[in-house]
Amino acid sequence: MTPPPQVLRLCRLGRVDYVDCWHAMRRFTDARTADTEDALWLVEHPPVFTQGQAGRPEHLLQPGDIPVVQTDRGGQVTYHGPGQLVAYVLVDLRRLKIGVRKLVAALEGAVIDLLAGFGVTAQARPDAPGVYVDGAKIASVGLRVRHGCSYHGIALNLDLDLTPFARINPCGHVGLPMTRLVDWVPATILAASDPGERLASVIAARLRLRLVSAGAHCAVLVASPSEIRGR
């Protein structure tokens, strides 16, 4: 009997439209079999507010010209934009023998480990998922489990413009301060590092999976079915 995959396939997708990426995650999850390798997609999105399944409209204050997408992850409203590193974690929870709470803890712990490597002390909060530095939120987490497998993931603020967060109550918390890694680490150091690779490595370590690059095959993942047929 073939042993189940024990790898986490890393895909760097670059800047991708949020809706296209979300639909691609659903397609990937719905097409999975017991032999499908787990995957980690690193992306950046154009400016967008995303509202979770439990999202309440009063937390959208003044979205203005930034689009709002009602999505199927957990949680309330958040903002994605250039300068934010988003890690989408598409793993078979049954195969890993963990539940969604342990996955959330693993993602939070991975970001805490990453920040510690930059000399930044961060914490998770039991009352509000995510990662915090000196009381300000630096990473937001939201997941969906479908057929025993996860998608969506965690978003880490690197050097993005934080002003759009003033148009919402971030994650449903009125007046929640937001921060970014460049506020704590010199921009020259951040620019010389590879936060995406480092985050992928610590996520894989937390999940006890071997990180493997997916190489040039990544782009097809977010193509629409019609685009795939045309290739």
pLDDT of residue 230: 33
Residue 212: which residues within 8 A CB-CB, separation 6 or more? 7, 8, 9, 10
Q: What is the pLDDT of residues 66-81, one digit of tens each?
A: 999 999 998 888 999 9
**CATH number, residue 194:** 3.30.930.10
Q: Which residues, in sequence order, are bridge partners of residue 151?
A: 144
Q: What is the pLDDT of residues 155-212, one digit of tens each?
A: 999 999 999 999 988 877 887 899 999 999 999 998 889 999 999 999 999 999 999 9
What are the backbone dihedrals phi and psi of residue 221, each rounded to the nearest 5 degrees, phi first? -65, -35
Average confidence (pLDDT) over 85-107? 97
What are the backbone dihedrals phi and psi of residue 143, each rounded to the nearest 5 degrees, phi first? -130, 160
Annotation-wise, does 141 bind a ligand? Answer: yes
Annotation-wise, does 75 bind a ligand? Answer: yes
User: 13: pLDDT confidence band, cut at 50, 70 and 90?
Assistant: very high
Higher-confidence residue of 145 and 60: namely 145
Cβ–Cβ under 8 Å, residues 86 and 43: yes
pLDDT of residue 220: 56
Q: What is the total count of domains within the chain?
A: 1
Judged against a pLDDT cut of 50, whether residue 1 lies above it is answered with no
User: 225: pLDDT confidence band, cut at 50, 70 and 90?
Assistant: very low
User: 231: pLDDT confidence band, cut at 50, 70 and 90?
Assistant: very low
Residues labelled catalytic: 171
Q: Which domain holds residue 107?
A: 7-229
In a domain, 2, yes or no: no
Which token pair is 191?
Answer: 């620019």
User: 224: pLDDT confidence band, cut at 50, 70 and 90?
Assistant: low
Encode the chain in three state secondary structure. CCCCCCEEEEEEEEECCHHHHHHHHHHHHHCCCCCCCEEEEEEECCCEEEECCCCCHHHECCCCCCCEEECCCCCCEEEECCCEEEEEEECEHHHHCCCHHHHHHHHHHHHHHHHHHCCCCCEEECCEEEEEECCEEEEEEEEEEECCEEEEEEEEECCCCCHHHHHECHHHCCCCCECCHHHCCCHHHHHHCCHHHHHHHHHHHHHCCEEEECHHHHHHHHCCHHHHHCC
Annotation-wise, does 230 bind a ligand? Answer: no
pLDDT of residue 101: 95
Which token pair is 79?
Answer: 């903002």
- CA–CA dist 113, 105 (Å, integer): 12
Judged against a pLDDT cut of 70, whether residue 215 lies above it is answered with no
- CA–CA dist 30, 149 (Å, integer): 9
Annotation-wise, does 174 bind a ligand? Answer: no
Round the average pLDDT of the chain to a whole number and report it.
Answer: 90
What is the model's pTM? 0.91
Higher-confidence residue of 172 and 228: namely 172
pLDDT of residue 219: 59
In a domain, 102, yes or no: yes
Annotation-wise, does 74 bind a ligand? Answer: yes
In a domain, 1, yes or no: no
Judged against a pLDDT cut of 50, whether residue 107 lies above it is answered with yes
Cβ–Cβ under 8 Å, residues 40 and 11: yes
Q: What is the pLDDT of residues 14-64, one digit of tens each?
A: 999 999 999 999 999 999 999 999 999 999 999 999 998 887 777 788 889
